[in-house]
Structure 1
């Protein structure tokens, strides 16, 4: 009977876990639906603001007239430190969502160190910080404990910190690492260059034409550009996280169901064996009498 009790307890425990994973799957699905709605807005905004700053970068006469803002377009100084911004999640239980992008950043750091280049690292999310804090403590600045209530403040602080790094010559190149949402089961690791801003595919005669007025116009465009890049990365990262968590919890629920079925079969066979053994003992005792 102890064997039956242990099996019964284990089946009950796994069923309880199955209920939790199923609930987490449903919550992740609901959050994913909301996140996907924000992706469309972020995509359109980023496309417009990137085309604007790329137009500025391609306008040589305009760049020559800039003073403070010119540093954001400077591609000549390769001796400045490289600023890497990594976006991960606050919570786990989302498969390989964090480990893949962390691995990409580790490889990037190795490549930069191999070429004797300086590095500064900003990490958004507890999981990335926990994975890198012991290995690269001298590089790290971090933003942790992010919630719905402080997300906008965190994004503003991060945007200001990146801008200050570039303005003060504390960094030259700035790269953003995050997971770009493809679908509920798939995401892609992205390395996006924020600074220096380089000229794009804009050519005179394109549908969009640009005119700039006022001293603060370019500075405002650059601020909006960094905000757009961060919003795009954070929205895609959040959607990818929820999609990965939904997929992971779906797999965990199915695995739990499979284990329950196997244990139930084992429980029934064990119980049947015990019953059979008791019947044999009863019959044997009756025959002796």
Structure 2
């Protein structure tokens, strides 16, 4: 059995670790609140843009935009959005596991565009080709960062380096529930809108689509990044909360062991004193 001094040293170490995990939990909770606010603002915008596309899909167009062109699928690109840091439970592992499964089931040639260090570092050990990588987006990614990623993805699609593009990210449901999802990004599927009112567009639907479709891709990527950031902070807050609780349980067990060791030492000393006194009689 470990001595009292060793157990006391372990209790001190665990208590210091508990203070760290508790502070990280509070920091993640504050960042989660901000990420949720940005996500709540982005979701209605994405839904409204979807509605505009539904109305445009009912209007006759003279040309087909390059982002709407469907080609025989020979090259598939996955845009994987993970975190730059760790200590966030199974957030990265679940998404990477889902992506790995999809890659294994895809018969076509697969390439990757990674956002975040964790996904990049994991798949770098494999034989999958990387078309682009983006890291260090920070805790509050901007629309310009998403626009840069979207422009690279659009360029790859228009040059024929990708026949289909899928977004792989973690959808934020709640602080304790995050769901890895796959969303088809390119080619853009025209929404099947309900036949309703006839709209007069100015400028023409072709001009609107030329401007709207790239912005639609940017919006989808931006929303996916915000979903991932909120999920990351929620997963980290939950993980740090569990670590703090586990540290408290460990301190209780170590305190019990220390008390037992102290009691055993006292009992041994009393036994030695009684034995010595009996020997003198």
TM-score when normalising by structure 2: 0.92
**CA–CA separation in structure 2 for the residues paired with 1:105 and 1:141:** 17
Flag structure 1 segments of 5+ consecutive residues without an equivalent: none
Q: Which residue in the other structure is 2:121 paired with? A: 130
Whether the aligned pair in 2 keeps the contact of 1:90 and 1:144 (CA below 8 Å) is yes
Matched, 1:66 2:63: yes
The structural deviation recorded for 1:253 is 0.7
**CA–CA separation in structure 2 for the residues paired with 1:36 and 1:14:** 32
Give the counterpart of 1:169 among 160, 176, 180. 160
**CA–CA separation in structure 1 for the residues paired with 2:196 and 2:99:** 39
Cα distance change on mapping 1:15 and 1:210 into 2, 3 Å: farther
Q: Residue 122 of structure 1: SS of its match in structure 2?
A: strand
**CA–CA separation in structure 1 for the residues paired with 2:139 and 2:21:** 23
Matched, 1:202 2:193: yes
Give the counterpart of 2:92 among 83, 95, 98. 98
The structural deviation recorded for 1:53 is 3.0
Matched, 1:107 2:101: yes
Q: Once structures 1 and 2 are overlaid, which stretch shifts more, 138-147 or 7-16?
A: 138-147
Q: Residue 78 of structure 1: SS of its match in structure 2?
A: coil
**CA–CA separation in structure 2 for the residues paired with 1:118 and 1:155:** 25
Cα distance change on mapping 1:259 and 1:140 into 2, 3 Å: farther
Q: Which residue in the other structure is 1:185 paired with? A: 176
Cα-Cα RMSD: 2.1
Matched, 1:81 2:75: yes
Matched, 1:50 2:50: yes
Cα displacement string for residues 105-132 of structure 1 (whole angstroms, at most 9, x for unaligned residues): 11111121xx2x1222101111111111
**CA–CA separation in structure 2 for the residues paired with 1:140 and 1:268:** 60
Q: Residue 84 of structure 1: SS of its match in structure 2?
A: strand
TM-score when normalising by structure 1: 0.89
Q: Which residue in the other structure is 1:249 paired with? A: 240
Q: Once structures 1 and 2 are overlaid, which stretch shifts more, 211-220 or 186-195?
A: 211-220
Cα distance change on mapping 1:139 and 1:98 into 2, 3 Å: same
Q: Once structures 1 and 2 are overlaid, which stretch shifts more, 99-108 or 135-144?
A: 135-144
Flag structure 2 segments of 5+ consecutive residues without an equivalent: none
Q: Which residue in the other structure is 1:6 paired with? A: 6
Q: Which residue in the other structure is 2:203 paired with? A: 213
Cα displacement string for residues 68-118 of structure 1 (whole angstroms, at most 9, x for unaligned residues): xx221122x124421210100111111111111111111111121xx2x12
